[in-house]
Amino acid sequence: MPPFNPFSALRTLPIRARPSFPVRQHLQRQPLQRSFADQVATNNPNALPKAASQTGGAPNENQEDHVSEEAAKMAKATGGSGPDLDVGTPVQEILAEEKDTLKTAPQVMKDTIKDPQTKENAKPSSGTRQFSTMARRMQGEMGMGSEAAGLDGSMIPSTEQRAVFAEEQFNTAITPTVLQNLPLPALPIPARSQQEHRYDPVVEQVTNLLMVDGKKAAAQRNMAHILSVLRTAPAPTYNPVRNLLPGAPPASHLPLNPVLYLTLAIDSIAPLLRIRSQRGAAGGGVALQIPVPLGLRQRRRQAMMWILDAVEKKKSRSSGRNTFAQRVAEELIGVVEGKSGVWVKRDAVHKLATTARSNLNFGSKGRR
Say if residue 132's pLDDT is above 80. no
pLDDT band per the 50, 70, 90 thresholds, residue 54:
very low
CATH class of 201-272+294-339: mainly alpha
**pLDDT (0 to 100) of residue 346:** 93
The residue with greater pLDDT, 17 or 257, is 257
Q: How confident is the model at residue 71 (pLDDT cuts 50, 70, 90)?
A: confident
pLDDT of 309 reads 94
∠ Cα 321 324 326 (to 5°): 100
pLDDT greater at residue 104 or residue 45: 104
Q: What mean pLDDT comes out for the span 9-20?
A: 57
**363 in helix, strand or coil?**
coil
Among the listed ranges 35-49, 109-123, 292-306, which one has the minimum average pLDDT value?
A: 35-49
Residues 247-258: pLDDT tens digits? 899 999 999 999
Return the SS3 of 277: strand
Cβ neighbours around 299 below 10 Å, total: 19
Quote the pLDDT of residue 146: 44
pLDDT of residue 288: 84
- Give the strand pairing for 288-293 and 273-278: antiparallel
pLDDT reading at 13 higher than 90: no
Q: At what angle do helices 323-337 and 216-232 cross, to 10 degrees?
A: 50
Q: Confirm if 207 and 225 have CB atoms less than 8 A apart.
A: no
pLDDT of residue 265: 95
pLDDT at residue 368 greater than cutoff 60: no
Backbone φ and ψ for 127, nearest 5 degrees, come out as: -85, 5
Average pLDDT, the chain: 75
Is pLDDT at 176 greater than 60 in this prediction? no
Contact assessment for residue 227 and residue 262, using Cβ atoms and an 8 Å cutoff: yes
Q: Tell me, what's the pLDDT at 59?
A: 55
**Three-state secondary-structure class, residue 291:** strand
Q: Which residue has the higher pLDDT, 90 or 367?
A: 90
CA 104 to chain centre: 43
Residue 219's pLDDT band, with cuts at 50, 70 and 90, is very high
Whole-angstrom distance, CA of residue 75 vs CA of residue 53: 30
pLDDT of residue 366: 46
pLDDT of residue 111: 81
The answer to whether 310 and 214 have CB atoms below 8 angstroms apart is no
Any idea how long the chain is? 368
Torsional sign, CA 183, 188, 192, 195: negative
Half-sphere exposure of 36 (CA within 13 A, CB side): 7
Mean pLDDT check: name the lowest of 9-23, 227-241, 325-339: 9-23
The DSSP H or E segment spanning 290 is strand 288-293
- The pLDDT of residue 215: 93
Structure confidence at residue 272 as a pLDDT band (50, 70, 90) = very high
Give yes or no for a cis peptide into 59 (omega within 30° of 0).
Answer: no
- For 288, the enclosing helix (H) or strand (E) is strand 288-293
Q: Which of 134, 127, 129, 138 is nearest to 81 (CA)?
A: 127
Say how far apart CA 184 and CA 233 lie, in whole Å: 44
- Which 3 state secondary structure label does DSSP give 357? helix
* Tens digits of residue pLDDT in 297-351: 999 999 999 999 999 988 887 777 788 999 999 999 999 999 999 999 999 999 9
What pLDDT is stored for residue 279 in this prediction?
Answer: 77
Tell me the pLDDT band of 262, cut-offs 50, 70 and 90. Answer: very high
In terms of average pLDDT, the best of 5-9, 137-141, 252-256 is 252-256
